[in-house]
Amino acid sequence: MKMINLLTAEAKMMYWSLRRYFFNTVAMLVAMFLIFMGLFWGVKSIGGTGISGDSLDSMLVGYILWVSAMLALQNTGTEVLSESQRGTLEQLYLSPMGAEKIFFGRAVANIVFNLIFITAMLYLSMFTTGRWMSINLPFLYGMVLLSTLSLVGISFMLGGISLIHKRIGAVNGILSFGLIGLMLLPTYPVTPYSFLPFIAGAAVIRNNAVSGATYPLWWYLFVAANSIVYLVLGLSIFKVIEKKARRLNKMGQY
């Protein structure tokens, strides 16, 4: 129940923030809409009538995947930094729930809100263009949430580094671009790349969108295990670095 109250608080915080910075929220939605429209019309103009529906679907799925991955990857590091700059970080550490649960709740709220926006803008784009896609959204979102948990784990590692070193924008940039390349690597059946975070889950999502590929149950369990291992690893590293930050009195400093 306590965790539900925390998640509710984070969801409300997200809503208040979007409402308060209304102009930015509208701009973000417009940008999302324009990207979707660009994908629809861009593909049409390049491929003409010969373009297959599948490649447009896969581009849209690729976009959703990339946005969610970036959010998951950068969330905790960015949040630690902005809380530190705002002068509210130490107050989060005065919660008996623990700062890691707060940042986890924030990451989940962030990803869920963005998926809601993406869905709304996707449907608006489909309505505008009159071209309706055949993406299995429940499957897509389920898999996105499951596989991005591994990136939330990586984000916690970055969040830990941010506690000590504060600015880590450059590291975020390297990892974000690195991830795009890594997502093209083969992962099924098990290859060394399958053990990297997120890659296996991303491949499942992409292949399902492109060719309707399905996988045996053990592979979905593998993706889930991959996410859980990275999440636990990330949280553990975050706790270790947090201890160091306490020793150095770096918590409230920026």
The residue ranges that bind other proteins (CB under 8 A) are: 1-3, 5-6, 8-10, 12-13, 16-17, 20-21, 86-88, 90-98, 102, 243, 246-249, 251-252
Q: Are 82 and 108 in contact (CB under 8 A)?
A: no
The nearest distance, CB 73 to other proteins, in angstroms, is 23
- Residue 13 or 182 having the CB closest to other proteins: 13
What is the rounded CA–CA span in Å between residue 184 and residue 164?
33
What is the rounded CA–CA span in Å between residue 66 and residue 68?
5
- Residue 230 or 238 having the CB closest to other proteins: 238
Q: How far is CA 204 from CA 62, 146, 194, 215, in A?
A: 12, 11, 11, 8
Longest dimension (CA), the chain: 64
- Residue 93 or 220 having the CB closest to other proteins: 93
The nearest distance, CB 155 to other proteins, in angstroms, is 19
- In this structure, the chain runs to a length of 254
CB under 8 Å to 140, separation ≥6 — which residues?
61, 64, 205, 208, 209
- Residue 124 or 252 having the CB closest to other proteins: 252
- Residue 28 or 171 having the CB closest to other proteins: 28
- The helix (H) or strand (E) run that includes residue 201 is helix 199-211
The nearest distance, CB 27 to other proteins, in angstroms, is 17
